[in-house]
Amino acid sequence: MNDLLADAIFWAFAAGSVTTGLRVFRTDSMMRAAFYLLASFAGVGGILVLLGAEFLGMVLILMMAGEMLIMAIVMVMFMMNPAGLNPMWMVHQHRVAVAAGAGSFVLLASLPFLVKFPDRPAPQPEEATAELGTELLGDSMLVFQTAGVALLSTMIGAVVIANRSGRFGVAEEGSQEPTVEPGAGDQR
């Protein structure tokens, strides 16, 4: 693949990622926000593949598909917004959010211009995926296993808390089904 084509593909992915990333906050639906975020991540995955990190790029896309769907469904459940179909504002504390977002974008985007990068091109690894596997299960095994066990225990903890017969007794104790009759909720 020649450099011009590689550049064109990079800019297409980069522009797509930034645009969809921006759309996450400009849309009025949780579902659309989740799927725009997925598209943004898919673009980053494409850039990773372009950089030679084939495995990481594809795994990013693979994991994000399930993750975004779960996130969207959980958001809909917590926000009491049936199916995420009702329009809603995706940003809280609007001015602070815009300032923080713009500030961190400028900061991160200015890094390539401020930092002096080493000027010696790294050799393209022959077997990038195999080297990654050796790294994960070799020198860095303790780090990754620790992170893995921590995540697993978090998941088990979340399941225990969310369970019906949870830590603080039966979950729906004292709760009432919402009524569909207008005004009836006020009398409770």
Q: Which residues lie near other proteins (CB under 8 A)?
A: 1, 29, 31-32, 35, 38, 54-55, 58-59, 61-63, 65-66, 68-70, 73, 83-85, 127-129
Residue 14 vs 59, nearer CB to other proteins: 59
Residue 61 vs 171, nearer CB to other proteins: 61
Q: What does the DSSP assignment read for the chain? A: --HHHHHHHHHHHHHHHHHHHHHHHH-S-HHHHHHHHHHHHHHHHHHHHHTT-HHHHHHHHHHHHHHHHHHHHHHHHHHT-GGG-S-----SSHHHHHHHHHHHHHHHHHHHHHS-----PPPPPTTHHHHHHHHHTTTTHHHHHHHHHHHHHHHHHHHHHHSTT-TTS-TTTT--PPP-STTGGGG-
Cβ 187 to other proteins shortest distance, Å: 29
Residue 63 vs 109, nearer CB to other proteins: 63
Cβ 60 to other proteins shortest distance, Å: 9
Cβ 58 to other proteins shortest distance, Å: 4
